[in-house]
Amino acid sequence: MRNNAEINALVLTGYGLNCDVETAHACELAGARAVCVHINDVISGAVSLEDFQIMVFIGGFSWGDDHGAGVIQAVRMKKNAGDRIIGFINQGGLVLGICNGFQTLVNFGLLPGMDNDYTARTVALTYNDCGNFRDDWVNLSINAQSPCVFTRGMKNMELPVRHGEGKFIADQKVIDQLIDQNQVVCRYARADGDLAAGGFPANPNGSMADIAGICDPTGRVFGLMPHPEAYNHPANHPDWTRNKHLRRCSSADEKPPLSAAGIRIFENAVTYFRA
Amino acid sequence: MPHRLEIALKNELFDAEGAAVAGKADAYFGIRVQDVRAVHIVTLDADLSPEQLETVRNEIFTNPVTQVSSFAPLDLGFDWCIWVGYRPGVKDTPGQTAIEAMEDVLGIRLAEGEGVFTSKRFCIRGPEISQDDAQCIAEQLLANEIIQQVRIFSRHDWDPENGVGIIIPKVRLDHKPTVTPVSVDSDAVLQQISDARNLALNVNDIPVIRQYFLDSEVRAQRRAIGLDDPTDVELEYISQGRSDHCNHNTFQGRFHYRDLSTGETETIDNLFKTCIQEPTRQLQAQKDWVISVLWDNAGVGRFDRDHYYVITGETHNSPSNMEAYGGAITGIVGVYRDPLGTGKGARLIMGSYGFCTGDRDYDGELKPRLHPRRLLDGIIEGVRDGGNKSGIPTPFGQVTFDHGYMGKCLVFVTALGMMPATVAGTPSEEKTTAAGELIVMCGGRVGKDGIHGVTASSEIFTENTPAGHVQIGDPYTQKKMHDFLLQARDEGLIRFVTDNGGGGLSSSVGETARFSGGCEVWLDRVPLKYEGLDQWEIWVSESQERMTVSVRPEDEDRFMALSEKHAVESTVIGKYTDSGKLHITYDGVTCAYVDMDFLTRGFPQWEFDAEWRSPEMRGLYEPVMGAPRDYNRLLTDLLARPNICSREWIIRQYDHEVQGTSVIKPLEGADRDVNSDASVIRPVLTSEQGLAFSQALLPFYSAIDAFHMTACTIDEAVRRLVAVGGDPEHIGGVDNFCWPNIQYDPVRNPDGRFKAAQLVRSCRALAETCGVYGIPLLSGKDSMYVDGHLAGAYGETHKLSAPETMQFSAVSVVKDIASCVTLDIKCPGDVVYVLGVTKDELGASEYYDRFGYTGCNVPVVDARKHWLLYKDLHAAMEKNLAASVHGIYRGGLGVHLAMCAMAGNLGIRADIGKAPGAEGLRADHLLFSETPGRFVVSVAPESREDFASMMKDHALACIGEVTKAPRLDLSCGAESLVSVPVADLKASWKAPFGQLV
């Protein structure tokens, strides 16, 4: 699986997950071959994880998010395919969890995966402090020191959030440890780049330490609440109609043209295998 | 033995759910609450060992980081504890998913009769809270008695051992399914039976029904299979099929129209045929992008060579009026089944909403079942959960307040889908059933929920309306079915697919069997939620999340295997035949045997008298008002009016970016907080082509003339599309009528004839305006009887009728999304144009309404003139000549210049006296007239000449320019009118609902 070989991405579907089409599209834009696979085909073994380099736990409302977002998906996957998924990671595969997928990874224990333990639930994503589902674009500050494979070379990024349960919490000790080990990959920030410091709506959910996404110590398992696959085209950005005119009436470097920046996360995953 | 597990957030964590309850108790009722903690309860009515209980407690129900849980009551401390649980038979989706998870984790199957039920209790602290306050919080905030039960405990009567007790809302019917024959001795007897059984049979239909069952040949055929008098199954089938909801008797009626001002009379035979069907057929012949209209669950238009879009709109008024959340979620999830059931099945790509309620802050004497504020909260949440959990973006929506909607609220829901042009080598829009194919029911199970939903919405809401038809939609179950059916479609396994909506199997099987010419249905095979349903109940139940599919016998195995993989229940419940009969059996015994064509033959047309009295005859006139002096305060106050002000709190609750297709979002501008004219999505991710969508709702003008209400509504929807870049040569429309009762009755409906005339005029405007704009009506629905009887201060009741309302949805393609434009002004120095003539048309305007006037000069659409303007503007936008485009809608030029400035966070300096038509118009009229056909456009100085030359055939004027200083400076000639910081305008515009999240 080097250089010109095809990089295969498994996009998990079924049971109320719903970001399959755009996540598969994002993988393809990044140069991978994407296959949408039903959860039950992973569990039954009809589809083998060995045929893939990248596995994406996508957004949506698995099992309606009843009993906690991502909880039942995590329980089912852990019970019926847990060893295979941990094996996939240990053999060098990349795992990305977006929104409901992130919630699933933390309930499974794949994140934060401290001390090589991929089964312990030590962090949680719970109800937004604002008390409601919220759709808005956020600014993310990306930790360049993080081992995260998916965010290499990135400093900041704007992405949409769309969730009711995205508040990241854990014991302060765990938070400190995540920060120390650079497992905190991205944090909510203000438009000027400074961290949100808990301020709403820059931090849309009240996450501790403005945490929007974390990785495991290897950097190969990454989960985040914002949706990189929903920024797959410059026109997804809320400023795109303004941007082309603002470039007319402000200096060129002030308003660089927009790109489909969310795709870089997927490109980094593909590049990781091609490098 | 049942077990009750209580789960709560750890004490030190913020409880957002509890905080929301506390906030509302204070804001809505002035009850001072210190703190609310929510406890989630899972009642396990199953035989489980202590080890098994611990396993599910730890692995499924308790998050070790955030939660604590216990099989004994949690000791949280409170002044009042309110428990809320569902009534028996109400959909408890979390209970169902809990079973799925438990069975998996424990590796067991729950036994027959075992179950899991979820409920909540709220621990409320506040020493000042009285018993009455607690009662108020329980009834007005936490529970709706129609679907929920409540128990209230004070600190003193709480038993820490037993807690709320063990409550198991299991349905036990103890009833043997029975088919009952119905006497057809006389019209009177049948009428009595209709009343007693809530069949809502029309008086004129009764003799036709009797005649059929008394016919000697019919009798002989029936005797041969063991039937005599009609059964209740048959009468329920006929009642459903003949209901106004399914059959559109009103629109297909005969109208005797008299214009009392001219004395002219006219008979219109069938409004649907003359104003909707025929004009659309003619346009279909001219426009090759119209793929399929007027027969399927939704209309189909061509998006590009390989993709078709699908669109339809619905309302769910009566159920939402009873149970706002349940009614609304059932409405949105239900309308999503229409595209899924169009052609061989379409993938859902977006939805939208329109809510009409009484004033959110109503504090008058009338006592609606649910206060408008609570009603609105509920319907917002219902459509939110229904859309978000379906994974379908909701990028457009509208909310309209009017006192008339106190009688019955309106909940409009619209759905768009996308399907490939061909499916397994055949045209995707075509489908039929054939004898020998299997009738398969997919999705949810059947219960008593939803029985008589169709007939209830065909009646005016009274205290006696049965509550049994209120349901709670389940997007999770439906999403699984959606994914399954699309895969089955792509494998060529679906011959026909349709939704089980109003009327349940009765409608879906009845309608699909017309294609093959008959069917046999084995009702005993239909999977039930619980035993004890009568046969007729199984046949007409509207239990949600079900589709009916026709499958060839040779495809059955593959279809069922796919169904199982997707965890969807599918059952063969009969087969299609060509016998000419609808034949239903239960355990081998026939319980219905009716000619397939019976519902479409021989029923008398409904008749209506319609009397039009012109506004002048009704005594309407222009108010006598002097010009105002304080325009700053006037404009600032108008922006804060309920029908103008910001609704950001609703929009942000709706996922408008799932599927990654967002191009023009519902909120745009520098701060992303001002409403866009329309939404644009890019539904095929590999294409640069867009789909633009807009809606308009202007019921206010019906106070003067529903003809102009309708024309203005259509014009606004079209203008909204044009403003973002939609192609005026390709516009599809969806009409959704919501009308009060039009059947005259001297006592109960004395103005019925006038309302009937309004409907006739509205339909004519629909045909005329769509004719000029070239809009085929891809889909449409009507919901009549939007009236209610509300109790007043002394126990007396008052009939309230909603204003005659038509929501119009418009859809268009955008060839290249790069040419899309938003409303926000963008660069200082850009010039500001007004396009279109402003006239003295303030009748029923927001401005007049501010002072309690109606007036008489209703806005009039000059469709031919507008149409040419729209085409040229579109051409200029395709050349990227406009920096911003915004239609001038409710509130007029003043309000909408403010919108452009607020969106751009820049200023506008303009002389509105230069606007086309300004001569002879007073400044306040110029600022607030609602004349249709107008836009505000900003243009870069270097594009000015090109723009003006492309628009030279139209009324346009440059009235000013964009300024860096964010201030709205409007003058009229030498007179300065408005000079306000844009931030002040925005603050006022956001003030009314700004505290809501």
Count the Cβ atoms, other than its own, within 10 Å of residue B861: 25
Asked which of B77-81, B182-186, B677-681 is least confident by mean pLDDT, the reply is B182-186
Q: Write down all domains in chain A, each with its CATH number in brackets.
A: 8-274 (3.40.50.880)
pLDDT of residue B465: 42
Would the CB atoms of A238 and B65 count as touching at under 8 Å? Answer: no
Compare all CA atoms of chain A with the CA of B40 and give the residue at the minimum distance.
A67
* DSSP H stretches of helix in B151-231: 187-197, 206-214, 216-224
Instruction: State the Cα–Cα distance between residues A127 and A129, nearest whole angstrom.
Output: 6
> What CATH number is associated with residue B901?
3.90.650.10
B interface test, pick of A11, A80, A135 with most B CB neighbours within 10 Å: A135
- Structure-token pair, residue B377: 């909260």
Would the CB atoms of B668 and A241 count as touching at under 8 Å? Answer: yes
Cα B150 from chain centre: 29
* pLDDT higher than 90, residue B725: yes
Provide the β-strand partners of residue B123.
B37, B81
pLDDT of residue B456: 52
* pLDDT higher than 60, residue B635: yes
pLDDT of residue B113: 87
* pLDDT higher than 60, residue B99: yes
Catalytic-role residue among A19, A36, A99, A148? A99
Last residue of a domain, one of B122, B154, B186: B154
Closest by CA position to B499, among listed B297, B674, B356: B297
Q: Could you tell me what percentage of chain B is helix, strand and coil, using 3-state DSSP and rounding each to the nearest 5?
A: 35, 25, 40
Instruction: State the Cα–Cα distance between residues B455 and A47, nearest whole angstrom.
Output: 49
Task: Name residue B462's amino acid.
Answer: T
Question: Does the annotation list B946 as a binding residue?
Answer: no
Last residue of a domain, one of B123, B154, B185: B154
Q: Give the distance from residue B850's alpha carbon to the nearest chain A alpha carbon, in angstroms.
A: 33
* pLDDT higher than 50, residue A2: no
Q: Give the distance from residue B506's alpha carbon to the nearest chain A alpha carbon, in angstroms.
A: 29
* B706 lies in some domain: no
pLDDT-based confidence at residue B791 (cuts at 50, 70, 90):
very high
Partners of residue B883 in chain A, C-beta under 8 Å: 245
pLDDT of residue B313: 97
Last residue of a domain, one of B154, B176, B203: B154
Restricting to B residues 895-954, those with a Cβ less than 8 Å away from any Cβ of A are: 940
* B882 lies in some domain: yes
A interface test, pick of B377, B648, B658 with most A CB neighbours within 10 Å: B658
* pLDDT higher than 70, residue B615: yes
* B106 lies in some domain: yes
pLDDT of residue B219: 95
- What integer best gives the mean pLDDT of chain B? 95
pLDDT one-digit tens code per residue, B278-288: 999 999 999 99
Dihedral sign for Cα atoms in the order A66, A71, A77, A78: negative
Asked which of B41-45, B192-196, B484-488, B915-919 is least confident by mean pLDDT, the reply is B192-196
pLDDT of residue B458: 55
ipTM attached to this prediction: 0.97
- Tell me the average pLDDT across B218-228: 94
Provide the greatest CA pair distance for chain B: 91
Q: Is the separation of the CB atoms in B753 and B609 below 8 Å?
A: yes
DSSP string for B940-966? -GGGHHHHHHHTTTS-EEEEEEEESS-
- Tell me the average pLDDT across B359-371: 94
- Structure-token pair, residue A142: 């990306």
pLDDT of residue B137: 97
Q: Which residues contact B423 (CB under 8 A, 6 or more apart)?
A: B343, B344, B345, B489, B490, B492, B494
Provide the β-strand partners of residue B497.
B549
Q: Catalytic annotation on A165?
A: no
E-state strands within chain A: 8-13, 33-38, 54-57, 94-98, 123-126, 134-142, 156-163, 167-170, 184-189, 211-215, 221-224
Closest by CA position to B891, among listed B704, B680, B679, B716: B716
Instruction: State the Cα–Cα distance between residues B102 and B97, nearest whole angstrom.
Output: 9
What residue has token string 């889908």? B417
Q: Catalytic annotation on A99?
A: yes
Domain span at residue B27? Answer: 2-154
Instruction: State the Cα–Cα distance between residues B328 and B370, nearest whole angstrom.
Output: 14
Instruction: State the Cα–Cα distance between residues B127 and B336, nearest whole angstrom.
Output: 47
Distances in whole angstroms, Cα of residue A11 to Cα of each of A69, A220, B329: 19, 16, 29
- What integer best gives the mean pLDDT of chain A? 95
Closest Cβ opposite residue A15 in set B65, B480, B656:
B480
pLDDT-based confidence at residue B555 (cuts at 50, 70, 90):
very high
pLDDT one-digit tens code per residue, B460-474: 555 444 445 568 899
Instruction: State the Cα–Cα distance between residues B499 and B545, nearest whole angstrom.
Output: 8
* B769 lies in some domain: no
Closest by CA position to B28, among listed B127, B112, B139, B170: B139
Compare all CA atoms of chain A with the CA of B816 and give the residue at the minimum distance.
A235
* B916 lies in some domain: yes
Provide the β-strand partners of residue B738.
B783, B805
Instruction: State the Cα–Cα distance between residues B461 and B787, nearest whole angstrom.
Output: 7
* B960 lies in some domain: yes
Cα B74 from chain centre: 40
Closest by CA position to B841, among listed B889, B885, B803, B799: B889
- Cis check: omega of the bond before B160, within 30 degrees of 0: no
Q: Is the separation of the CB atoms in B736 and B315 below 8 Å?
A: yes
pLDDT one-digit tens code per residue, B354-363: 999 999 999 9
* B165 lies in some domain: no
pLDDT-based confidence at residue A4 (cuts at 50, 70, 90):
low
Question: Does the annotation list B780 as a binding residue?
Answer: yes
Instruction: State the Cα–Cα distance between residues A28 and A35, nearest whole angstrom.
Output: 10
Q: Catalytic annotation on A227?
A: yes
Q: Is the separation of the CB atoms in B482 and B499 below 8 Å?
A: no
Closest Cβ opposite residue B389 in set A16, A80, A121:
A16
User: Residues, chain B, total?
Assistant: 997
Q: Give the distance from residue B393's alpha carbon to the nearest chain A alpha carbon, in angstroms.
A: 11
DSSP string for B326-346? HHHHHHHHHHHHHHHTSTT--
Partners of residue A160 in chain B, C-beta under 8 Å: 657, 662
Question: Does the annotation list B69 as a binding residue?
Answer: no
Instruction: State the Cα–Cα distance between residues B35 and B180, nearest whole angstrom.
Output: 55
Instruction: State the Cα–Cα distance between residues A122 and A112, nearest whole angstrom.
Output: 7
Q: Which residues contact A52 (CB under 8 A, 6 or more apart)?
A: A8, A9, A10, A35, A88, A93
Partners of residue B480 in chain A, C-beta under 8 Å: 14-16
Restricting to B residues 650-669, those with a Cβ less than 8 Å away from any Cβ of A are: 651-665, 668-669
* pLDDT higher than 90, residue A3: no
Catalytic-role residue among A22, A227, A237, A267? A227
Q: Is the separation of the CB atoms in B205 and B247 below 8 Å?
A: no
* B101 lies in some domain: yes
Closest by CA position to B388, among listed B284, B457, B475: B475
Instruction: State the Cα–Cα distance between residues B340 and B515, nearest whole angstrom.
Output: 19
At B410, is the secondary structure helix, strand, or coil?
strand
* pLDDT higher than 90, residue B686: yes
pLDDT of residue B464: 45
* DSSP H stretches of helix in B817-862: 846-850
Please give the tally of structural domains in chain B: 2
pLDDT one-digit tens code per residue, B740-784: 999 999 999 999 999 999 999 999 999 999 999 999 999 999 999
Q: pTM value?
A: 0.96
pLDDT one-digit tens code per residue, A235-245: 999 999 999 89
Closest by CA position to B91, among listed A61, A64, A15, A72: A64
Q: Is the separation of the CB atoms in B763 and B271 below 8 Å?
A: yes
Q: Which residues contact A71 (CB under 8 A, 6 or more apart)?
A: A63, A103, A107, B60, B63, B101
pLDDT of residue B460: 59
- Structure-token pair, residue B265: 């009379």
* DSSP H stretches of helix in B626-702: 631-639, 648-651
Closest by CA position to B470, among listed B487, B453, B495, B492: B453
B98 touches chain A (CB under 8 A): yes
